[in-house]
Structure 1
Amino acid sequence: MSVTSAMYTGISGLNANGEAMSVIGNNISNVNTIGFKQGRMLFSDVLSSTISGGSQIGRGVQIQTVENQFTQGSFESTENGTDLAIQGDSFFVVQSDNGRYYTRAGAFHFDKDDVLVNPDGYQVQGYGIVPDSGLSDGVMKPIDLTDYATTPPKLTSKVEMVLNLDSTQAVPTLPWDPANPVATSNFSTSMSVYDSQGNAHTATVYFRKTADNAWDWHAILPDATAGSPVDGTLTFDSTGALTSQLPDAATAQSLTFVGGVTAPQSIFFDLGVGATTQYASASIVSSQTQDGYYQGTLTKVTIDDKGYVNGVYSNGQLKKLAQVALAKFSSTAGLSKSGGTLFEETLASGQPIFSNASTPGVGKVLANSLEQSNVDLAAQFVKMITTQRGYSANSKTITTADEMLQEVLNLKR
């Protein structure tokens, strides 16, 4: 191998280490880039030349590949509920007019059209929700809240309560009088129930002791034009447990409200057989619920660890609106960087497998979090030193080969 070839061998080392320094510099410059994955350069030797005797002499170095390192970055907590991070090796899916991309950078927000986007306006992809099951429908599309600004009212179909009725109470001296319920009962509790248009109607349930372990109950709804009051009985055993209710909890009571609403409206009254008690302590309501509500407006959006986008409404309802889509690849190292912390699929990466965080092995979605760059500054500075040394050493190869050529030229003197 000639001395001139030695110079070209040194040049290959300069070129390779110079490009390696570019990779290191790119890593360092992106140390604070959300979702950034550092790269590393791998070298390989150039095909050797064979000299007499079958010996081989190397011809320098070449860049074999620049690999993206998809190790998990640390998480930063944020105050933005739509900031998302993935615990696992999946990717968010975003779409623009130029195509579909994949990213680990989850700094998302809802734009003026109520569509979830990244800072560059790329639409985050997700799935719709099947109302009956509350699960994703598997149809990928942008996460758009336009149709979820309000939620319609729901009429009350069931009233449930659990309470204690004071066993030491005496039987009222006056017979039950719906026109004077307070004076002719021992205890009462009130709640609002709703018709099909979301109008609230007060329902007051009065409890009147009739004998040992026996009570009457009367539900009065002043707004009802028919079906009120609802009258029934309660029977307790010797331990104070409610053993029976009439009408029972499986018998619907028909009430009629005016104003063009659904009429009659069937409401089931469940007074807690097996849970309601009659003990020698003050009468008190432990819990009371009803399943109706008025129309609500969307006040807040939350995202859980399965990627469900939940709407919080002014009427207290929590509703699943969408689910964030995730993608996995057979070889993440085969993905191609597209800028903007985005990746594209290639033949080397394989096609994406789309799923969601409800699928085992896909990973968790963390709200109010962002994944930091996985660049290790200390390691990069060490690589910078070794790369600089390598560059300097290869330059010595060139200068030494030049001095050797000068010696050859000096032979003529």
Structure 2
Amino acid sequence: MGLTDALFTGTSGLRALGHGMSVIGDNVSNLNTTAFKGARISFSDVMAQSINTGAGSGQLGRGASIQALYPLFTQGSFESTANPTDMAIAGAGFFIVKDPKGSGNVFYTRDGQFMIDKMGYLVNAAGLRVQGWRIDEVTGDITGAITDIQIDRSSPPVKTSKIDVITNLDAREETRTKLIFLSGNIYDNNPAGYTYFPNAGYYEVVIRDIDGKDNKIGIKLGYNAETQKWAYEIYNLNTNQTIISATDVTSTRVSFELPTTKEIITFDWSGITHVNSGNNYIEMPGRTGKIELNGQLDQGEWEVVDLSVKDANGTLRNLRIYIRYDNSDGRWDYRVFENPASTPATDPDDPNDPNQETGTLLVKGNNSDETNTFFFLDGTTQKITLDWSSLTTGTNVTPSVNSYILQETDTLLSYWNATQDVPIPSTAYSYRTTLTIYDSLGTPHEVTVYYNPTTRDNVYEFLVACNPEEDARDFTKDSLPMQWQYEEGTVTQKLEIPSGNLTAQSLKGVLMYGRLEFDNQGNVKKFYETYRIDANTGTLVRIIDDSGNPVPDPIDKFPALGEHGYPLMIADFLGIEFPYDIYPPNAQDQGLVRNDLQKIELNFGYFFKDSWRSESVRTTQYATSNATIFYDQDGFGPGALESITVDNQGIITGNYSNGRVIPLWMVSLANFNAPERLQKVGGNLFKETTHSGPPVTGKPGSNGLGTIAPNSIEQSNVDLGEQFVKMIIFQRGFQADSRIITVSDTMLEELINLKR
């Protein structure tokens, strides 16, 4: 019957409009819900009923039904907050959160109100963990798969691997001069001219330059008593060439350049007297610094040479040299003793056997392919070089010996003495700068760089050192540090310098020593003659030669330069005994390398790449005061998290109490092909459905995903005015539908009354 149909039609409208009011109520109720997405409801008519009319078949509507109900993912406005972990998405996408209590419980949300829980996880109010990628601190790229974001509450220590020290060294500093005073007596027994005395007026000396090389120099002096003038000639005894000469001069001083380093050396003989009754001689202060062996010796037999050398106090020390040559492999054995027995001990099977010697062993070498070595006088740091390159094999002739007084150029390295309370006096350097570095445990250590002009124009020397008491390298603990062993095929070459213990102890704290040569524009032309200390033996390891080129294979087996092209020094502040790395048997140079040592590059603003190249900020030599322009290092002590920040790429950065600013995580976002078909599960969460499609994850700002607005939350996108308008429309519709029912009811009542 038509009236009954009208009742059901009106009821469908009431039902549909009631649901519409529920939608509006839900939208209005969540007006202040963070990132809430308002829903929209739409209606459709119900399938019509066919009826007969005078004009034929017609269709009669049967009411209204809900056609669709889905959320609107329009952008909500942003509200700024003071919480650094609050985030809003500007554009498309959802945060990914995961329930840690179950597997596969992954949800998606626009609500970026996050906090850090007691475990360090970034979570929402319900404790679901935000997902993201960990960031590699070195490369800055994301690593691994998407996982729970967990903020490190502490920053582990990082050992220093590079220090930057940029200074200006005053170009007005005067170049130092090596002044050598001669004394003695020369008188003139030839009034007609100069008298040269081959044994008295001629003197030979070894001058050890700033490169550590021994230069044999000869000086010949002549004096004319009638004119009271001098004649002199300075020789290079290595080449027998004259360096400088003059006659008829009144000056008692001459300056000349060393052949190798061009250092300025000055001889002064103003103290020489002219007493006829005295002996003719020349002498100068100094100690014995070089010994040369000449002549022949039988192969395979020990030869013995006795001699006396002068120490720094002028005291004569008795030495005995044992040396033997094996013609089969061209190698040498040698020993040097101090205070030897009155006569060499003999063995019937091996005459002059040094194993029977009772003196103090200074140096010992077996199977050496070198023809020189060095040692120290017992109980001193006085280095003496021993050279037997002129020895030949032949008839059994005891080798002759020449010894030379040594004159040394004072250097920062020669002034350093770790056994003193103050390792280096303030008068030894013109400028110093100090910075703090860290070991692998985060312990701070002070490192000081000392600078001083040299005896060569436009050349500064530098010394890098730490507190000797904090130096824990192996040689600082060994009773006999200076020992080497090299495996060369089937031959084992051994070198031992027992007399080097005091020298090694005096070098505690020294990390690097070298020189910088500047050009006329005040820029570094090159590093040269640069050394570090062997952590095993305490000896100098040459890493840059006198031409400014890195040494390809330093004797301590570490590279000369670090990965950035800066000179590399080796430190050890922990003193932990770890195993050694052993080179394979077929290696050309075999040896032992400590794997627990701290490698530190020294950056003066210059790096080596085919040649020395400058950076924009670099050490200079300008005519202004010494000053540190910039210094830095890449190590850190341990630190605690102080704050975090988030940028628009979703990168979470930790700020730690040790000064480190570390990018930790990147928040991941997800989007769907049909986000309107996601399932609402409450708590501002959505879940993937078959109709929404799978999530497409990516970095914020990529693949159509929005960017992150830090310190912000997204507000509800519900428009209250629009909801009120719809509310009125739904209300009026509901009223009209209700009138259909009441009127239909009245009509039905009239119909029933017809029976009466």
When normalised by structure 1's length, the TM-score is 0.88
* CA distance in structure 1 between the aligned counterparts of 2:640 and 2:686, rounded to whole angstroms: 37
CA contact (8 A) 2:46 2:63 kept: yes
Q: What SS does the corresponding residue of 1:289 show, helix, strand or coil?
A: strand
* CA distance in structure 2 between the aligned counterparts of 1:352 and 1:89, rounded to whole angstroms: 12
1:307 and 2:650 equivalent? yes
User: What runs of 5+ residues in structure 1 fail to find an aligned partner?
Assistant: none
* CA distance in structure 1 between the aligned counterparts of 2:570 and 2:135, rounded to whole angstroms: 33
Using the TM superposition, give the Cα deviation of residue 134 of structure 1 relative to its aligned residue in structure 2, in angstroms: 4.3
- Listed one character per residue, the Cα deviations across residues 39-95 of structure 1 (whole Å, up to 9, x for unaligned) are 111111111112222322221110112110111111112122222222222112222
CA contact (8 A) 2:641 2:657 kept: yes
Give the share of equivalent positions with the same residue, in percent. Answer: 41
Q: Which of 292-301 and 80-89 deviates more?
A: 292-301
Matches within 5 A, 1:263-342: 264-273=597-606, 274=614, 275-276=617-618, 277-342=620-685
CA contact (8 A) 2:436 2:447 kept: yes
Larger radius of gyration: 2
Distance 1:111 1:265, change over 3 A: closer
Residue 167 of structure 1 corresponds to which residue in structure 2?
Answer: 171
Using the TM superposition, give the Cα deviation of residue 229 of structure 1 relative to its aligned residue in structure 2, in angstroms: 5.4
Using the TM superposition, give the Cα deviation of residue 387 of structure 1 relative to its aligned residue in structure 2, in angstroms: 1.5
CA contact (8 A) 1:227 1:256 kept: no
* CA distance in structure 1 between the aligned counterparts of 2:574 and 2:26, rounded to whole angstroms: 71
CA contact (8 A) 1:227 1:253 kept: no
Distance 1:75 1:172, change over 3 A: farther
1:220 and 2:465 equivalent? yes
Residue 427 of structure 2 corresponds to which residue in structure 1?
Answer: 183
Using the TM superposition, give the Cα deviation of residue 203 of structure 1 relative to its aligned residue in structure 2, in angstroms: 1.0
Using the TM superposition, give the Cα deviation of residue 195 of structure 1 relative to its aligned residue in structure 2, in angstroms: 2.3
* CA distance in structure 2 between the aligned counterparts of 1:213 and 1:74, rounded to whole angstroms: 66
Which of 525, 542, 560 is matched with 1:243 structurally? 525
* CA distance in structure 2 between the aligned counterparts of 1:346 and 1:263, rounded to whole angstroms: 55
Distance 1:112 1:157, change over 3 A: closer
Using the TM superposition, give the Cα deviation of residue 37 of structure 1 relative to its aligned residue in structure 2, in angstroms: 0.7
Residue 135 of structure 1 corresponds to which residue in structure 2?
Answer: 141
* CA distance in structure 1 between the aligned counterparts of 2:144 and 2:598, rounded to whole angstroms: 36
Could you tell me which amino acid in structure 2 is paired with residue 187 of structure 1?
Y
CA contact (8 A) 2:133 2:142 kept: yes
Q: What SS does the corresponding residue of 2:426 show, helix, strand or coil?
A: coil
Could you tell me which amino acid in structure 1 is paired with residue 86 of structure 2?
D
Using the TM superposition, give the Cα deviation of residue 133 of structure 1 relative to its aligned residue in structure 2, in angstroms: 4.5
More helix by share: 1
Distance 1:293 1:130, change over 3 A: closer
Could you tell me which amino acid in structure 2 is paired with residue 113 of structure 1?
M
Distance 1:410 1:298, change over 3 A: same
- Listed one character per residue, the Cα deviations across residues 149-178 of structure 1 (whole Å, up to 9, x for unaligned) are 444333222212323333334457896544
Residue 124 of structure 1 corresponds to which residue in structure 2?
Answer: 130
CA contact (8 A) 2:3 2:748 kept: yes
* CA distance in structure 1 between the aligned counterparts of 2:50 and 2:691, rounded to whole angstroms: 34
Using the TM superposition, give the Cα deviation of residue 337 of structure 1 relative to its aligned residue in structure 2, in angstroms: 0.9
Residue 116 of structure 2 corresponds to which residue in structure 1?
Answer: 110
More strand by share: 2
* CA distance in structure 2 between the aligned counterparts of 1:371 and 1:36, rounded to whole angstroms: 8
Residue 9 of structure 1 corresponds to which residue in structure 2?
Answer: 9
CA contact (8 A) 2:137 2:662 kept: no
* CA distance in structure 2 between the aligned counterparts of 1:407 and 1:163, rounded to whole angstroms: 110
Using the TM superposition, give the Cα deviation of residue 208 of structure 1 relative to its aligned residue in structure 2, in angstroms: 2.1
Distance 1:258 1:43, change over 3 A: closer
1:373 and 2:716 equivalent? yes
Could you tell me which amino acid in structure 2 is paired with residue 205 of structure 1?
V
CA contact (8 A) 1:40 1:69 kept: yes
Using the TM superposition, give the Cα deviation of residue 34 of structure 1 relative to its aligned residue in structure 2, in angstroms: 0.8
Q: Which of 83-92 and 37-46 deviates more?
A: 83-92
Could you tell me which amino acid in structure 1 is paired with residue 25 of structure 2?
G
* CA distance in structure 1 between the aligned counterparts of 2:701 and 2:655, rounded to whole angstroms: 21
Q: What SS does the corresponding residue of 1:400 show, helix, strand or coil?
A: helix
Could you tell me which amino acid in structure 2 is paired with residue 78 of structure 1?
T
Residue 30 of structure 1 corresponds to which residue in structure 2?
Answer: 30
Q: What SS does the corresponding residue of 1:183 show, helix, strand or coil?
A: helix
* CA distance in structure 2 between the aligned counterparts of 1:160 and 1:126, rounded to whole angstroms: 35
- Listed one character per residue, the Cα deviations across residues 1-48 of structure 1 (whole Å, up to 9, x for unaligned) are 713322322221121111111111111111111121111111111111
Q: Which of 164-173 and 63-72 deviates more?
A: 164-173
Residue 441 of structure 2 corresponds to which residue in structure 1?
Answer: 197
Could you tell me which amino acid in structure 1 is paired with residue 31 of structure 2?
V
Q: What SS does the corresponding residue of 1:22 show, helix, strand or coil?
A: helix
CA contact (8 A) 1:152 1:295 kept: yes
CA contact (8 A) 1:242 1:272 kept: no
Structure showing greater relative contact order (alpha-carbon pairs closer than 8 Å, 6 or more residues apart): 1
Q: What SS does the corresponding residue of 1:9 show, helix, strand or coil?
A: helix
* CA distance in structure 2 between the aligned counterparts of 1:151 and 1:124, rounded to whole angstroms: 21
1:78 and 2:81 equivalent? yes
Q: Which of 29-38 and 252-261 deviates more?
A: 252-261
* CA distance in structure 1 between the aligned counterparts of 2:136 and 2:452, rounded to whole angstroms: 46
Could you tell me which amino acid in structure 1 is paired with residue 159 of structure 2?
L
CA contact (8 A) 2:511 2:570 kept: no
* CA distance in structure 2 between the aligned counterparts of 1:344 and 1:3, rounded to whole angstroms: 46
Q: Which of 182-191 and 253-262 deviates more?
A: 253-262
Using the TM superposition, give the Cα deviation of residue 202 of structure 1 relative to its aligned residue in structure 2, in angstroms: 1.0
Distance 1:112 1:251, change over 3 A: closer
Which of 83, 87, 91 is matched with 1:88 structurally? 91
Q: What SS does the corresponding residue of 2:691 show, helix, strand or coil?
A: coil
* Number of matched pairs: 411
Using the TM superposition, give the Cα deviation of residue 304 of structure 1 relative to its aligned residue in structure 2, in angstroms: 3.3
